[in-house]
Amino acid sequence: MLSRRARRTVEIWPGFVDALSGLLMVMIFVLMVFVLAQFFLGNALSGSEQTVNRLSAELAGLVDQLALEKKTTEGLRTDLSNLSAQLTDASAEREGLEHDVAALLALKAELESQLANANQRAESEKQVSLQAKAELALLTQQLEAVKSELSRVAAALDVSEKQTADQKVQIGDLGKKLNLALLGKVEELQRYRSEFFGKLRAILGDRPGIRIEGDRFIFQSELLFDTASSELGADGLRQVRALAGTLAEIARKIPPSIPWVLRVDGHTDKRPIASNRYPSNWELSTARAISVIRALIAAGIPADHLAAAGFGEFQPLDRKDSDAAYARNRRIEIRLDTK
């Protein structure tokens, strides 16, 4: 039994020794690798430190160079600013010089023109001097002829003034006679006008819408026409026929030498009218006056003794803004007058 265990122990030991020697060799190898790595790492660090020192030196040189470049740049900027200012001053001075040159050129041209004109006048004056003498002689002859003609005209004027004085006396006499004749006609017509208005008042009666003012017989428009219309109503037509009868009676008494005319004037108030038939108060007032004229002609009054006029709202009798004023201004005026 013991010999068998001894043999087993002897057999295990050589394997252990082999394993231990192998481990030792591995450790020696690792140690050698570590030593070599340390060696190479030291060399690498030494080279890196040298590189860093070299780069630091180069960096310091670049910093110095950059500072020098900055200083140079600042100097160049200052020089550039000075040059710009000098260039601006030079440009302004150049513009001033160009303006002065232009002015001098204009002055030169003006002086040359004046010189040319002076030379031309000098040449002209030489010729004019000769022409003036000839013209003076001609003017002297013409002046003598004018004096002779003036004497003749003065004599004729004296005769004409005498004739004119005589004619003025004759015209004055004719004017007086004409005025007297016209005054007589007017007075005579005034007599017939008074008779006409008197008879017309008696026929038409003393109605509120009919009145006489001065030399005018006035109808309010409401007596003759409907609102905004120029057609005579039945009552209005009766009023106009009565007017025509009285006028025809008076007309037979008026001598043919009196150029009489019955004038019919249409008036409206100031309120505007706008329709297809009457665009304004002018048309309405004129149409109403013409309607009265047509009714008078139909009643036998000669048309050559009638006249119509429309005044719109522009000749009011009452300028107030009230219904009463509007009614008073809407009217037809009848006037017996001379042509």
Q: What is the pLDDT of residue 174?
A: 56
Q: What is the pLDDT of residue 327?
A: 93
Beta strands in the chain (DSSP E): 210-213, 216-220, 260-267, 306-310, 331-338
Q: What is the pLDDT of residue 3?
A: 54
Convert the pLDDT of each residue in 28-54 to its tens digit: 888 888 888 777 777 777 766 777 677
Q: What residue ranges do the domains of the chain occupy?
A: 205-338
Q: What is the pLDDT of residue 318?
A: 94
Contact 286, 221 (CB under 8 A): no
Q: What is the pLDDT of residue 279?
A: 92
Convert the pLDDT of each residue in 262-315 to its tens digit: 999 999 999 999 788 999 999 999 999 999 999 999 999 999 999 999 999 999
Q: What is the dihedral of CA 289, 291, 292, 298, to 10 degrees?
A: 150
The burial of 274, by beta-carbon neighbours within 10 Å (0-12 exposed, 13-18 middle, 19 or more buried), is given as: exposed
Q: What is the pLDDT of residue 151?
A: 72
Contact 280, 312 (CB under 8 A): yes
Task: With cut-offs at 50, 70 and 90, classify the pLDDT of residue 224.
Answer: very high
Average pLDDT of the segment spanning 313-339: 93
Q: What is the CATH number of domain 205-338?
A: 3.30.1330.60
Q: What is the pLDDT of residue 236?
A: 92
**Inter-axis angle of helices 234-251 and 2-204, to 10 degrees?**
40
Among 263, 262, 255, 261, smallest CA distance to 184 is for 255
The more confident residue out of 249 and 173 is: 249
Q: What sign does the dihedral 121-126-130-133 (CA atoms) show?
A: positive
Nearest-angstrom CA–CA distance, 139 and 262: 67
The more confident residue out of 242 and 82 is: 242
216-220 sheet: strands from edge to edge: 210-213, 216-220, 331-338, 260-267, 306-310
Answering whether pTM is above 0.75, one says no
Task: With cut-offs at 50, 70 and 90, classify the pLDDT of residue 104.
Answer: confident
